[in-house]
Amino acid sequence: MTPERRLTLLRLLALLLVVGIGVGVFIFRDQVQNLAAYGYPGIFLVAAIANATIFLPVPGVMMVFAMGAVFHPFLTAPFAGLGAATGELSGYLLGFSGQALVEGSQRYERIFRWIKDHPKFRDLAIVVMAAIPNPFFDLAGIAAGTLKIPVLRFYFFCAIGSILKMLVFAYSGEAILNWIFDR
């Protein structure tokens, strides 16, 4: 098998994996929330699954908000953040397989151009976009995959941003839910 065919096959398999994960999570979204009952590993799994969907909202951060009041928020955040970064690899894989789903999107083009044209700030951009709750981070993952940013580099900086975001949600959940239910 030629290297070009092998790459095409890998891209096709990555695309099928991403689509399969998205469809599976959407179909079984109610059962996914039950994984949080397994403690920190469950939080990791819920966050990974919630962030593995591309453009289909699964309320992973709301689970982190609630779990911050049940478990220690400082430990909840890294498990949720690493799970989120693991799930975001689906966007990266989609970009690696080819960005046909988002081609022509002005938002994607803007993010892609910015990441491509500012290589000194790529890592910071990934951290910031992962730290801000927004539905467009999938586009950043797709752009990172398209640009062939090394997967471990993308994962590392995505994890930093995701952990920071989850810290805010976990501590907010602890404070707000304890305030509401301690009254």
pTM: 0.77
Report which residue type is found at 9.
L
Weakest-pLDDT range from 7-21, 44-58, 148-162: 7-21
DSSP output for 13-69: HHHHHHHHHHHHHHHTHHHHHGGGGGHHHHHHHHHHHHHHSSS----HHHHHHHHHH
Q: What confidence score (pLDDT) does residue 149 get?
A: 92
State the pLDDT at residue 42.
Answer: 87
Average pLDDT over residues 133-160: 90
Asked whether the beta carbons of 47 and 60 are under 8 A apart, the reply is yes
Work out the average pLDDT over 52-73: 76
